[in-house]
Amino acid sequence: MAKAFKYGLKGITGFLEPAERDMLRSLIDDVISMLQPAEHASQDPLAALIGLDMDVQEPTDRAVKRLLPNVMKNDDGASLEFRQLTERSLRETKIGALRAAALDLDKDEVVLTAEGARLWSMALNDVRLVLAERLDIRDEEDAEHVHLMQDWSQAEDVESYLALVYNFTTWLQESLVQAMLQSLDAKA
Amino acid sequence: MTLSVALGPDTQEGTRTGTVASTDSLTAPDIPWNLVIWNDPVNLMSYVSYVFQSYFGYSESKANRLMMEVHKKGRSIVAHGSKEQVERHAVAMHGFGLWATVEKASGGPGGNSGKSAGSGQGKGKRG
């Protein structure tokens, strides 16, 4: 079983079993593949270099849209314009955090610097956002319902398996963030 | 241009050149904008508070107060500033996975001191 993250002399440390690391790695890979920007034949290479993407559209996949939300509530036009300027680099930021976390998964013991922990918390959060969309978690009640699923012997179908995976990543992120808050306190 | 936004260390970097609003502003620089964080059932309360503390440099108590406002009221205004500033914050919040939007402040130029982030009562369901 994984051990909760702790803040101590070595920084922030955690422990994950090989099966848990494999599972996290595949979740991370899934989210990375969702975030890879589409390559357009007409893409201006210079525009791409400076992060512009004039062909970008609002995502149709709900999970991708949750990862890359509109910047204005009731102005799709302005949101799309903003997306053209910023979405590509936001995708790259997220992929960077996910890749960094995946690289730390080569050993049972995970030892993180403050920056590494920040990237891990971002990566775990994006993994959870995607799982939550797949589980159709729309409100606190849905979240509670999913949270009740704690026993791996009950995993009979894809949905209950996903719920268990979601609860595991939630627990892992919560323990990581608690350790990060302790390290903020220690610095203050 | 003296909206006193509580910018954290992270956000100072971008403006250190001192050329405030001298570049390509498409909108009048002194119209205040709000950064709004919306509630969702996924993000951990601890994580939201961590983001407010580490990114904006808010104290633990201020971060927790804003986080609870998001949780209970469904949304909270967590920063004010020029359109460019709040847009930059919004991208950073999206990087963290928080659901953030920007909106024009209802007070108009000089209407609000911009000091008390989170005292958003009365402009709640705007737009």
Q: Where are the domains of chain B?
A: 29-104
Could you read off the pLDDT of A38-97 as tens digits, one per residue?
776 666 777 777 777 878 899 999 999 999 999 999 999 999 999 999 999 999 999 999
Q: Which residues pair with B102 in a beta bridge?
A: B35
Q: Which residues of chain B are modeled with pLDDT < 50? A: 1-25, 108-127
Q: For residue A157, give the DSSP letter.
A: S
Query: Is the CB of B101 less than 8 angstroms away from the CB of A73?
Result: yes
Q: What is the pLDDT of residue B65?
A: 98
Of B87, B91, B97, the CB nearest to A126: B97
The candidate with the shortest Cα–Cα distance to B122, out of B34, B63, B43, is: B34
CB contact under 8 A, A181 and B44: no
Contacts of B101 in chain A (CB under 8 A): 69-73
Q: Cα separation of A130 and A62, whole Å? A: 9
Is A183 near chain B, with CB under 8 Å? no
Output the six-digit token pair for A61. 């996949």
- Kindly state the tokens that stand for B94: 């999206």
C-beta atoms of B102 and A69 within 8 A:
no
Residue A134 at interface with chain B, using a CB cutoff of 8 Å: no
Q: With an 8 Å Cβ cutoff, are B99 and A66 in contact?
A: yes
Q: How many residues does chain B have?
A: 127
Cβ contact (<8 Å) for A90 and B47?
A: no
Is residue A15 within 8 A of residue A108, CB to CB? The reply is: yes
Architecture of the domain spanning B29-104:
2-Layer Sandwich (3.30)
> Does the complex come out with an ipTM higher than 0.95?
no
pLDDT in tens, B95-111: 999 999 999 998 544 43
Count of beta carbons in the 10 Å neighbourhood of residue B4 = 10
Q: Which amino acid, one-letter code, is at A84?
A: Q
